[in-house]
Amino acid sequence: MEVIRARGHPNVRATHRTTLEVTKDRELTPRGDCIIGVGADKSVADLNEDLKRWLKSGRAIRVEIVLPDYGLKDELIAFGSSKLTFKHERDVVIRKSDYVCDRTLAIRSNKSARDIDREIVELLKDEKTELILIIEKI
């Protein structure tokens, strides 16, 4: 299991049709419509090697999106790929497509930013809202 902690931001929109992202960056412009959390404590480069090996073998993960202060959560299922590099030092991106770049954690996800529970998205527009991503191998 891997845990990534981030926070909300007033510019969270979560309307992107194919991707979902958290970033170590502290600022977010309205153009970042796939971003659901900023100030993350990890990027794909920081993830544990066991999880990276699991994903590079093409296996599946479950990602729980948790707002601990509100008792709310959502989840998605996505898959790894042998093409994953885990090199990006700032971002974690989950994609519905098969596209892979240095920022990609997983592909063929059953959800993108726009599919996340809208109550969660509204709460993530507050920078005080804590966001936790729990990544589990399945």
Alpha helices in the chain (DSSP H): 49-56, 118-123
Domain that holds residue 70: 2-137
Cα–Cα distance measured from residue 120 to residue 45, given in angstroms and rounded to the nearest whole number: 26
Question: So what's the pLDDT on residue 54?
Answer: 98
Q: How many domains does the chain have?
A: 1
pTM assigned to the model: 0.96
Q: Please state, as a whole number, how many other Cβ atoms lie within 10 Å of the Cβ of residue 44.
A: 24
Question: So what's the pLDDT on residue 8?
Answer: 97
Chain CA centroid to CA 16, Å: 13
Quick one: pLDDT band at residue 30, thresholds 50, 70, 90? confident
Which domain CATH number covers 20? 2.60.120.630
Q: What does the pLDDT look like over 36-54, one tens digit per residue?
A: 999 999 999 999 999 999 9
Average pLDDT of 57-75?
Answer: 97
